[in-house]
């Protein structure tokens, strides 16, 4: 499976990617997660990316392509990958295309996760992550079912809100998505790779729609 999950911040890319990795045993490659790890480690990359991320803007394309080249070269990505949050600009998509052509492993499908824009804000302000297991919840739409808060996965669960999920930053991220990332819908449609999935409603139903779309595309 070699796919991209495309969609606005809050469309559920990360949540659905977590489910696909369990079912298909390929890694989720989330550039947001890779950057957050770099920020937490205070590496050179993290120090460079921190302010950009907190402002809701995009890290530059050359840096992102370097990160993705290294990550897709790792042994666990040889069986496939689920890209989550990458590409986000046309130059990133062109770079990815060239990289995958070099590797002889082209994309099989790009799935657009469609959510009404009014819902995105609520989803983002309600989002919480478990510091221990990394699972993502939503205090409005997908609260952890039983205590402990991560649903029993962790010994010492600890939910936190991402630094860029504050209201002003969310508005900026949605604006950046519309201006810089949304054009990728036409880019991939023109290449015959785009599949759309209604990403509203029950998480299990969205997973079922996503699996059906991937099967149709021959990617699952
Ligand atoms: P995400 O977790 O995908 O919402 O990403 C969080 C933040 O990391 C974004 O708002 C950007 O600042 C940065 N980021 C993640 N992926 C990319 C990318 N492909 N290109 C540029 N910036 C990115």
Higher pLDDT, 133 or 1: 1
Q: How large is the average pLDDT for residues 89-100?
A: 98
Q: How far apart are CA 35 and CA 51, in angstroms?
A: 12
Question: Residues of the chain with pLDDT > 70: what percent?
Answer: 93
Average pLDDT of span 73-81:
94
Residue 152 has pLDDT above 60, yes or no: no
Answer for the pair 135, 107: CB distance below 8 angstroms, yes or no.
no
Would you state the pLDDT for residue 118? 82
Measured by CA distance, the residue closest to atom 10 of ligand 1 is 56
Separation CA 120–CA 23 (nearest Å)? 26
**Which pLDDT value is given to residue 61?**
98
Q: 65 in ligand 1 pocket by Cβ < 6 Å? A: no
Q: For residues 83-98, give the mean pLDDT.
A: 98
Q: Which of 177, 143, 175, 170 is nearest to 159 (CA)?
A: 143
Pocket test for ligand 1, best of 18, 31, 56 (most atoms within 8 A of CB): 31
Q: Whose CA is nearest to atom 6 of ligand 1?
A: 32
The 10s digit of each residue's pLDDT in 41-63 is 999 999 999 999 999 999 999 99
What pLDDT score does 42 carry?
A: 95
Name the residue among 182, 128, 174 with its Cα closest to residue 150: 128
Does residue 64's CB lie within 6 angstroms of at least one atom of ligand 1? Answer: yes
- Residue 110 has a pLDDT of 98
Provide the pLDDT for residue 76.
94
87 pLDDT more than 70 = yes
In terms of Cβ atoms closer than 10 Å to its own Cβ (0-12, 13-18, 19+), residue 9 is: buried
What is the pLDDT at residue 134? 78
Domains and their CATH numbers in the chain: 2-116+194-216 (3.40.50.300)
Q: How many whole angstroms separate alpha carbon 28 and alpha carbon 30? A: 6
Res 142 pLDDT > 80 = no
CB of 88 closer than 6 angstroms to any ligand 1 atom: yes
Calpha distance 64→177 (Å, rounded): 16
3-class DSSP assignment, residue 29: strand
Lowest mean pLDDT among 12-21, 39-48, 118-127: 118-127
């Amino acid at each position: 499976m070699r796919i991209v999950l495309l969609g606005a911040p809050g469309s559920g890319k990360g949540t659905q990617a977590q489910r696909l990795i369990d079912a298909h045993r390929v890694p989720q490659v989330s550039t947001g997660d890779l950057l957050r790890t770099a920020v937490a480690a205070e590496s050179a990359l993290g120090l460079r990316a921190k302010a950009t991320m907190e402002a809701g803007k995009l890290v530059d394309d050359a840096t992102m392509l370097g990160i993705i080249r290294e990550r897709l070269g790792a042994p666990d990505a040889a069986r496939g990958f689920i890209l989550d949050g990458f590409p986000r600009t046309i130059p990133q998509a062109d770079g990815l295309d060239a990289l995958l052509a070099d590797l002889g492993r082209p994309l099989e499908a790009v799935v657009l996760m469609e959510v009404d824009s009014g819902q995105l804000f609520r989803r983002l302000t309600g989002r919480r992550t478990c510091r221990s297991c990394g699972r993502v919840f939503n205090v409005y739409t997908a609260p952890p079912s039983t205590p402990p808060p991560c649903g029993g996965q962790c010994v010492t669960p600890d939910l936190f809100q991402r630094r860029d999920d504050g209201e002003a930053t969310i508005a900026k991220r949605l604006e950046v998505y519309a201006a810089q990332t949304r054009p990728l819908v036409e880019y991939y449609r023109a290449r015959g790779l785009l599949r759309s999935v209604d990403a509203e409603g029950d998480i299990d139903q969205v997973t079922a729609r996503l699996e059906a779309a991937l099967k149709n595309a021959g990617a699952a």
